[in-house]
Amino acid sequence: MIDINIKGVLYGIAAALPVFRKQGFGHFVNTASTAGHKTVPNQSVYSPRSSPCARSPRACMEAGEKLRVTIISPGFVNTNFAEGVTNPEVKTQLENARDKFALPPKAIARAIVFAIEQPADVDAGEIIVRPAAQS
């Protein structure tokens, strides 16, 4: 999780930042998770790496006024996440909850489009998107 979810963001920023600086503008859209805002049982490893602070390092926010940074924090989304869970009870709970109220991935895509479509002088810093049934 650390290599992909934290280092991956850093590598992406390192690759894009020189391009953004050269062209004079850019927009980072990083995904975090509502788990970074509220930890629930069985997410002690997942939650810290999902923190918006971990997912959008301050360095990219300080790169200039023409650089926008948006953090999208999805709640429960209908994905294959449960397939990687080895505890049968937790896996069943996740699958049941997913089938009951998880958001379609398209809901997160719409949030990303919303952030990108804002005028150049508007920075949608963070967007939390979760099912209404998820508290």
Q: Which residues are catalytic?
A: 46
Query: How far apart are the C-alpha atoms of 104 and 71, rounded to whole Å?
Result: 19
| Cβ neighbours for 126, distance < 8 A, ≥ 6 positions apart | 52, 70, 71, 72, 73
Q: Three-state SS for 127?
A: strand
Q: How many CB atoms lie within 10 A of CB 128?
A: 16
What sign for the dihedral angle of Cα 7, 104, 28, 15? positive
